[in-house]
Amino acid sequence: MAGAFLMEIRRGTQSALLVIRAAAELPSAPVEVSVCADSLEVRSGGSCDAAALPAGVRLAPSSCRGLRRLRGDGLHLRVRLRCPPPATDVAVTLRENLKPKKSYIFYCQSCGDIVVEDRKFLRVLPLPSENWSDLVEEWCCHPDPFARSSLHPRHGDCFVGDTFFLLNSGNESHVPESPMCYSEAGHHVSQNGCNLKSKENTRVICKRCKAILGETVSSDTIKYYVTEVIIQPTEGSFSPTPRSQFVQSVIAQCLLELSSAKSTFRFTIKGDNGKTYILIWLLNSDTLLVESLGSSSSHSDFTLFGDVLTPSTGPVGAWNAVKVLYQPCIQCRNKELADAWENDMGVHPLTFPSETCLELLLIMGLSTTSLPPSLRCMNSFQAAVDKIIIKNLAGLKKSSAKK
């Protein structure tokens, strides 16, 4: 529709912010907006466009308030919902995704090549958080009993961390990463002969597409990052997912799990090189986004993530979302704030391959620039683009069009 719109719905408060783009394109033209329970209608410049809302989203037209026009944004108004929108699909957690005594195949997320074939785990165990050793002094009144011990999986084990899986690589001749590891230069060497002190030489790289999948932790232990592999039951089939959509979904799932389990809402995104790339502050996770993509290419700048997450069955789409504030920390930006968060026990670190951290930063930047200008910043997070809405976090894209 010519009057492209974005609606941000909060399930907790049963309220919505509606932004109508038509008024931004024709600032001097009169615009008439009709809000119905299940549809929106925009009249401007002699044209009339209507869009049906997704099933389950019903507005209370009499509650419309706060109508205003913002330069560059269009018309803003707030409205309440008649009833709560459909509940968010419960995302399967990383720990629940793997079950003992079941066979799984690990695929490279980038190209679909098999990384680990037909592996049956006898035990699937959660690992403590990455900074657990820092708290040992609070637990023990005697010297650290874990100082010389390490948590490595035995044969048939899978250890699940916040952002990775640890697998035992012994006696798995059909696993390409087990008998050898690949350096970034592309040369393969015996895994037992890898120089574990060098980060480059311990990286595990997909044979087909050369994507970084993880790293060798010891001579018989491999770490695979959750953002780099797709795990399917042996009897299942591989279903490719666009890279940006997968990265958003997995990282947001990590944020949701940790915020629920640890009551923490601030996170640092670190690379496997030890550098901090992004500071993230989780604002809420009960958001439902409803968006009209418009029929004209002139509206593409208003569409979140362009055609990556475009609904395939209609002009209006709905997505579950989380909203976060963030600050980039590349090239020494926000160093003082990053140092303060580094020393704050209330901030939880998440480690991914450095290339994935840069991918995430790009995705977040694209999300921010696609939002109306008035929604891009908040409080002290004023670095270029600060406020984002990541779409489709907890599951696959939902289309609102019903045929």
Predicted confidence (pLDDT) per residue in 144-187, tens digit: 666 666 778 999 999 999 999 999 986 443 334 433 444 333 33
CA 116 to CA 233: how far, in whole Å? 12
Lowest mean pLDDT among 46-60, 212-226, 307-321: 307-321
Lowest mean pLDDT among 115-119, 180-184, 288-292, 378-382: 180-184
* Residue 153: predicted pLDDT: 92
Residue 219 burial by CB count (10 A; 0-12/13-18/19+): exposed, middle or buried?
middle
Instruction: Check pLDDT > 70 for residue 77.
Output: yes
* Residue 191: predicted pLDDT: 38
Which residue would you say has higher pLDDT here, 280 or 303?
280
CATH code that applies to domain 5-83: 2.60.40
Lowest mean pLDDT among 123-137, 176-190, 274-288: 176-190
pLDDT, average across residues 255-260: 88
Give CB contacts under 8 A, 24+ apart, made by 259-266: 259/285, 262/129, 262/348, 264/346, 264/347, 264/348, 266/341, 266/344, 266/346, 266/347, 266/348
**Do residues 219 and 190 touch, judged by C-beta distance below 8 A?**
no
**Whether the predicted model's global pTM rises above the 0.75 cut:** yes
Token pair for residue 163?
């952002």
Q: List, in order, residues 6 or more apart from 364 with CB less than 8 Å away.
A: 278, 326, 385, 388, 390
Domain boundaries, the chain: 5-83, 88-173+201-240, 243-296+306-392
* Residue 397: predicted pLDDT: 32
Q: DSSP strand E in 195-315: where? A: 203-205, 212-218, 221-225, 229-233, 266-271, 276-292
pLDDT band at 60 (very low <50, low <70, confident <90, very high): very high
**Do residues 393 and 306 touch, judged by C-beta distance below 8 A?**
no
Predicted confidence (pLDDT) per residue in 185-215, tens digit: 333 333 333 444 456 678 999 999 999 999 9
* Residue 94: predicted pLDDT: 62
pLDDT, average across residues 284-289: 84
* Residue 387: predicted pLDDT: 31
**Do residues 357 and 277 touch, judged by C-beta distance below 8 A?**
yes
pLDDT, average across residues 62-78: 90
The bridge status of strand 123-126 relative to strand 157-160 is: parallel
